[in-house]
Amino acid sequence: MKFLIRVASLLSLLSVSLPHSAIALNGDPYIHDPSTVAYDNGKYYVFGTGGGGLISDDGGWTWHSGAVRPGGGVAPDIIKIGGRYYVTYATGGGGMSGGHASNVHVMWSKTLDPKSPDFAFHDDTIVARTNGIEDADAIDPSFLYVDGHLWISYGTYFGSICVLELDPKTGKALPISKPVDVAIDMEATDLIYKEGWYYLLGTHGTCCDGANSTYNIRVGRAKKVTGPYVDNMGVPLLKGGGKLVVGASGRYMGPGHFGRLILGDDVEKFSCHYEADLDRSGRSVLDIRPLLWKDGWPVGGDNFQGGTFEIQSQRSGGALELGVDFVRMAGNRGFGGGPGGGPRPAAGNGAAGAAPGAPAAGGPGAGGSFGGGRNAPGPVAPVPNQQLSQVESAWPPGNIELRLDDYMVRPNQEWTITPVANVGGYLGQPFFKITIAGTERALATTPDGQVVAVPAYTGAPEQLWQIDQLIDGTYRIQPKVMSDPNGPVVLSAIGASTPALVKFEPKSDRSRWNFRTP
Amino acid sequence: MSPYFVPATNGPKAPDADGFLQRWLILEPINKPNRSNTVFTDTYVRKTLTTEYFPDQMTAVPKSGDKVTVGDQQLTWHSVDATNFDAKLFNFAYGLNKQTYGVIFWAVTIVNSPRERKDVRLAVGSNGASMWWLNGSDVVDLFNDRRMVMDDVVSRPLTLNKGKNVLRGAVINGPGLSDFCLRFIDENGNPVKDITTSLQ
């Protein structure tokens, strides 16, 4: 056993675990004012201010420069409608050179891949403009496409945010459409739609001031895309309202330029930049994080950082565990006990006696006592949790089946989840290994599609896991290797006590998990 | 200045439907150059807005057309009614061909109450920082670089005297759309509407 563990440890060095500081996007995710992230033929693209942008070809974890966008200007956005990627951006304005005269452009291309023969932008047209004197500044444009209608929002802190309707067949302004004022005190807006509500997100606070940028993303909602938008307190966005979606945290200052990614039922993420990533010289970077929904409002989630947890089924509340013998621990005297000593058979009160061979916790009063009575308890003292060293030697050496059971804070129920470097990832996150805490026993899939715990983590693909937070805050746990044309295959509680790998059911608690502090 | 302000008339004016006060005497902006809004800390704003720029700054109720001298500036008080819920100071200055950035605006109004009212609060939003005095006492302060949000900073419970109450404020800004909105709210957060504002 010891030899195998030494070999396994050596092999695990080949796929290095990342340190447990904040997990930031991999590669060189440097960008300012990012567009919504767009998918095209196996890769993700995001454009930024000034032209150019980032590409990811590993599912959205690692990002490098290479996206190409003509026109320069600021704060672009992308939307795919039919066979076209419409791209919008603004030139002029922004007050940076003192002026607020600005133009919003829309153009389109069949593809975002600059290496494709179809890559070419067409029909660059100005769809909205401000003259520098009126109470608006036409920058930071952003698309929304709902029910066959295409809308664009634009504007900054100078004056109002405006919403204008465009023709989805051409990207040009509809002849009868006029801009409608919908908010003040905002820039970098983004319109989204969910279940009968239009949401206007945008930044409050200051941009472009590095670690001192107070940028934060806020939201109001309305039943019509032209408003009136109000926040959770009923304060109109035209009077400065806005409910916080995401602000600074940890090493990241100044989130702004929200973009939504809908990945399927109940799985949503958002992109943004941070004005300053303090781990990267305070440079402006892209991030992709879970988007949660609470009581009809979007809430910025945090990327899962790993750690040691109980993995609890949302279905039954059962904890994922190795299928090994339950081992009794000291502390089994609920009431009526005498002073001190180890475990002994119960005196006819129905309480179970100690299991043979179970180590005693020992110590006076270690049994715990209830009330006083004729047998007064000894002094009160803590009982240690059951330790791995007390039980591990009895576990089988090979693969161990998994089950769900009542959580008892036992070693076979504690899982350490660790991000893994150099194995790729998915939108916003790396893959994780999931091991029994203090061991290298790792969650893995088998060739026939079962889930087991293998004796030692080797970094093999079947031992890597994708963890996505769902919109209600629970998590989906998905093996890297298994895929199904009908949808993702995920860890599910197919019985109250039985985990298995089956197709993700968005509306069912079977597919949902919580990570709870042990 | 139009369409954001129209000349005020004499006599009382009711607040708007949401209780926002719209009748003001506003002084043309004092030059206070600041190329950035990062300087407006509590300490800086308190010191700068309690500096005396002209005589009787904290006590006099001016009349429309009155002039004051501040350094090499000669500045005039204007009586205006905001046509919206907020007093768009940027447009006030722009419309008078005055500087719009790096400025201090002073504003005064008389709040008339038919009865003594305790437990009302003054709720203010401003772009940028500002300080507000009711009957000579500092009651609401808004510090740091900020944009105008309705009911942003709210005072402790205050007493409105029966009859006249003098409400005075100063707004300071670097680059930005100087602006403020202001109303009284009751203990339930609802606007106080049975008051009026006037120029004297």
- Parent domain of A94: 73-300
Tell me the C-alpha to C-alpha distance, in Å, between residue A418 and each of A24, A423, A457: 14, 13, 12
Same domain, A260 and A313: no
Supply the pLDDT for residue A18: 53
* A290 and A151 both lie in a single domain: yes
Domain check: are A177 and A283 in the same one? yes
Rounded to a whole number, what is the distance in Å from the CA of A235 to chain B's nearest CA?
7
CATH topology of domain B13-198: Jelly Rolls (2.60.120)
The ranges of chain B with pLDDT < 50 are: none
Q: Alpha-carbon distance A212 to B8, whole Å?
A: 42
Residue A98 pLDDT: 62
Structural domains in chain A (count): 2
pLDDT for the residue A340? 44
* Same domain assignment for residues A268 and A246: yes
Residue numbers of chain A with a pLDDT score lower than 70 = 1-22, 96-98, 332-377
User: In this complex, is the C-beta atom of B16 within 8 Å of any C-beta atom belonging to chain A?
Assistant: no
pLDDT given for residue B170 in this prediction: 98
With an 8 Å Cβ cutoff, are A240 and B147 in contact?
yes
DSSP string, B122-149: EEEEEESEEEEEETTEEEEEE-SS----
Quick check: B38 and A209 CB within 8 A?
yes
Instruction: Tell me if chain A has a CB within 8 Å of the CB of B185.
Output: no
Provide the pLDDT for residue A22: 67
pLDDT at A339: 46
A185/B151 touch (CB, cutoff 8 Å), yes or no: no
Asked if A236 has any chain B CB less than 8 Å from its own CB, the reply is yes
pLDDT of residue A137: 94
User: Is A214 part of the contact surface with chain B (CB cutoff 8 Å)?
Assistant: yes
The alpha-carbon gap from A241 to the nearest alpha carbon of chain B, in Å, equals 6
Last-in-domain residue among A300, A335, A352? A300
Question: So what's the pLDDT on residue A99?
Answer: 85
- The pTM for the full model equals 0.87
How far B177 CA lies from chain A's nearest CA (Å)? 6
Helix (H) / strand (E) element for A5: namely helix A2-12
Residues A268 and A398 in one domain: no
Q: What is the DSSP letter of A249?
A: B
User: pLDDT, tens digit, for every residue of B144-170?
Assistant: 999 999 999 989 999 999 999 999 999
| Chain B interface includes A241 (CB < 8 A) | yes
Same domain? For A417 and A464 the reply is yes
- SS3 letters for A430-497? ECEEEEECCCCCEEEECCCCCEEEECCCCCCHHHCEEEEECCCCCEEEEECCCCCCCCCEEEEEEECC
The pLDDT value recorded for residue B84 is 97
| Residues 65-124, chain A, touching B (beta carbon < 8 A) | 95
**Domain boundaries, given as residue ranges, for chain B:** 13-198
Q: How far is B150 from chain A, CA to nearest CA, in Å?
A: 6
Domain at A140, CATH number: 2.115.10.20
Q: Do both A145 and A289 map to the same domain?
A: yes
Candidate from B145, B150, B181 with C-beta closest to A206: B145
Could you tell me whether strands A26-27 and A62-67 are parallel, antiparallel, or unpaired per DSSP bridges? parallel
Q: What pLDDT, on the 0 to 100 scale, is given for residue A87?
A: 98
Among residues 189-208 of chain A, which lie with CB inside 8 Å of chain B? 204, 206
Do A211 and A175 sit in the same domain of this protein? Answer: yes
Residue B57's alpha-carbon distances to A455, B65, B181, in angstroms, are 81, 16, 21
DSSP code, position A398: S
In whole angstroms, give the CA distance from residue B52 to residue B32: 13
